[in-house]
Amino acid sequence: GAVVSQHPSWVICKSGTSVKIECRSLDFQATTMFWYRQFPKQSLMLMATSNEGSKATYEQGVEKDKFLINHASLTLSTLTVTSAHPEDSSFYICSAASTGVGSTEAFFGQGTRLTVV
């Protein structure tokens, strides 16, 4: 299957700093990418949907000024957690969608464990 690379796999940052997480589709063009947050033993909570070249669509309750999403190309989307605080500590996962008749599928990155201290 297609490969989605998410980087970094883990990061520790100080409170008040910003952290950028990258999500790359390595062998296909992803017109749509999804960003999720997952708390321990819970499901994936959709934060936002991004389409290449346009602004991301954020889910209700997600602060778009805090979680900046950029989808500048068909193979790269980034999530920047601005002015991070300990409550932002979580596991973040990206997904890149490949759409087509009979081949629609979403591929996932390995996830990023963010710890804010």
Q: How far is Cα 90 from Cα 95, in angstroms, rounded to an integer?
A: 16
Residues 35-64 that bind other proteins (CB under 8 A): 36, 38, 41-44, 46, 49, 51, 57
Tokens of 67: 């979680």
Q: Determine whether 26 is exposed, middle or buried from the number of CB atoms within 10 Å of its CB (0-12, 13-18, 19+).
A: exposed
Question: Binder to other proteins among 31, 80, 82, 89 (CB under 8 A)?
Answer: 31
Q: Which residues lie near other proteins (CB under 8 A)?
A: 1, 31-32, 34, 36, 38, 41-44, 46, 49, 51, 57, 91, 93, 95, 97, 99, 102, 104-106, 108, 110-111
